[in-house]
Amino acid sequence: MTRAAEWWRGAAIYQIYPRSFADSNGDGIGDLPGITQHLDYVASLSVDAIWLSPFFTSPMADFGYDVADYRDVDRIFGTLADFDALVERAHALDLKVIIDQVWSHSSDQHPWFADSRSSRDGAHADWYVWADAKPDGSPPSNWQSVFGGPAWTWDARRGQYYLHNFLKQQPQLNVRNPAVQDELLDTARFWLDRGVDGFRLDAINFAMHDPALTDNPPAPDDGSPRTRPFDFQLHRYNQSHADILPFLERVRALMDDYGARFTVAEVGGAEAEREMKLFTLPGRRLDSAYGFDFLYADRLTANVVRSAMAKWPTTPDTGWPSWAFENHDAPRAVSRWAPPEAHDAFARMKLLLLATLRGNIILYNGEELGLGQVDIPFEALQDPEAIANWPLTLSRDGARTPMPWRRDEAGHGFTNGTPWLPFGDDNIGRAIDVQEGDPRSLLHWTRAMLDLRNRHPALRGGALIPVETPHELLAFERVEGDERLLCAFNLGGDTIEWTPAGWTPIVSTGSIDGGTIGAWSGMIARRG
C-alpha cells in the first residue's frame, strides 16, 4: 500500500457518541440524522474522519456495546437509509467514516445466542463460550467480569455456564470458531459495501482466551484501589490468547481487498503495549491501536508522555499508534488533569500537545469545547458499571453528557425533549454558539491547531525525538525531511526556567517569555 493510500497515517479522528451528539426527533437521545445535520461543523474542525460509537440494534444494556443485530440500525438512532445518508454527506465533506465493530461479545438478545442456549447441538451451539460446572456446581474457572462479579453465568436451558467478560447480558462469542470468524468478516463486508472507511475493534484482546480455562493467579497488592473483583487478578488466561493473531491477519486480508481502509484496535490491560505491537505488525495485521496510557491517567506529567511516546519508535517493525486523551469510557481529561482555576489555560495547552503527538489523534466530541466531567447523582445514573460499583467507580455518564449547541435555548440545541443525561451547568456555558462568537475560544484554537498539524509534515507523520529538559518540562522535536520543529510544554502549575537557544516560536499558548515557560504553557518553534 502506498503512502498516498494511507490517509489515516497521522490523521485526526473525531469520535461521536451518537446518544449525546444531536437529537433530531425530540426523544432526548441523539441519532444518525442529528449527526448528519451537524457534519459541516465537524468538517470545520479540520479532522480527517469521524468514528461513530455503536448505533446497531441493541437492548442497550451497555448502550450499544451489546449488539443484537450487527447489520441494522437501532430504531432509536434511525434506519439504514439514515446511515447511508450520513456516509454520503460525510464523504461529500471529505470526511472518512469509521464505525465500531464489537466482536468479542454480542447481546444475549441476539438470535445466535437464543439458538445457542437452546441446545448443545444446534446450528449456533458452539458460537458462544459454554462450559460445564465443576463437580461442586461452581463456575468453570475463577475469572471475573470487568463490570463486577464472576465472568460466568449459569443457564438452566443449556445446563452449562456461559462466559461474559463484561455484563451477563454480553455473552462471549467463540471467535476461535471458524464459522464465527466467517460471519464477523461477512458483517465487515456488509458495512464496507455501504461505504465505511474503517473499523475500530472494541476490546479485541478479549476475543480469545485460554481454551483450558485455567484459573487466573491473584494480582499482587500494589496499593491501588480495588473497586471490583476483576482488580484482584492477573488476567493471564481470560483474554489475549495468541490465536487472536491469525484472525487479525484474516481481517487485514479483507481490508486489503477494499483498499485505503483503516483498522484501529482498542487494547487495555497490563500487557497492552506488547499486544498492541503484535496486533499492528506492519503489513500483516491491523493499521493502528490505542490503549489507556492517557485515558485513565490521574495526572498528565512529562514522564507519562515520554513513556507513551517511547513505546512507539520509528522502526520498520513497529506499528503506528493512535492516541486519545478522552473518550466515552474515561473521565474528561481537563477535569482529571487540571485544577478548576486552570481549566481554560490547561485545555488550550492540552489541545496543542495532542496536535503534536506522533501517531493518529482522536478527539472525543466536546473535547474541542473543553467540556468537563459532570457529577451525575445516583438517581440519574445510566451507566451499569457505575450503578453496580457505586460509589467507588466513577460514572462514565459524566463524560457522555449531551453536546451543548446553543447556550440560551431550551434543550441547548441538542434536543426539543428531555435529554437522556443532564448537560452540567459549566458545560452549558461552553456551548458552541458562545465559542463560535469568541475568536479567542478553545473551539477556534482547536481548529487552528488541527489546521497547523495538517500543514506541517513533521507534525502529521514525522519522527519524534525527545529533548532533555528540566524534569517537569516536556520537550521533543518532530522531524520530517528538512522540516524540524521543537514542541515544548509545561504541564504543571509552576513557572520553569528554560531557554531553547536558536528556536523561534510559531505558535504558543500561556506565558513563554524571557527564558521562562509559565504554568500550563506550550509552544511549537522552528529553527532561526
Residues with a known catalytic role: 202, 266
Please state, in angstroms and as integers, the Cα–Cα distance from residue 392 to each residue in 19, 336, 395, following that order: 25, 16, 9
Q: How many angstroms separate the CA atoms of 68 and 357, rounded?
A: 37
| 27: three-class secondary structure by DSSP | coil
Q: How many angstroms separate the CA atoms of 269 and 291, rounded?
A: 8
Residues 218-239 as b or e (16 or more Cβ within 10 Å = b): ebeeeeeeebbbbeebebbbbb
The answer to whether 66 and 107 have CB atoms below 8 angstroms apart is: yes
Q: What's the grid cell of residue 367?
A: 473535547
Q: What's the grid cell of residue 213?
A: 480455562
Please name the residues in contact with 12: beta carbons below 8 A apart, sequence gap of 6 or more.
45, 46, 47, 48, 49, 355, 360, 361, 362, 363, 450, 453, 454
| ∠ CA 131-132-135, rounded to 5° | 145
Q: How many angstroms separate the CA atoms of 305 and 297, rounded?
A: 10
Residue 387 identity: I
Q: What's the grid cell of residue 485?
A: 520543529
Q: What's the grid cell of residue 332?
A: 474528561
Please name the residues in contact with 182: beta carbons below 8 A apart, sequence gap of 6 or more.
none
| Side-chain-facing half-sphere of 497: CA atoms under 13 Å | 0
Please state, in angstroms and as integers, the Cα–Cα distance from residue 162 to each residue in 183, 336, 391, 497, following that order: 20, 37, 29, 59
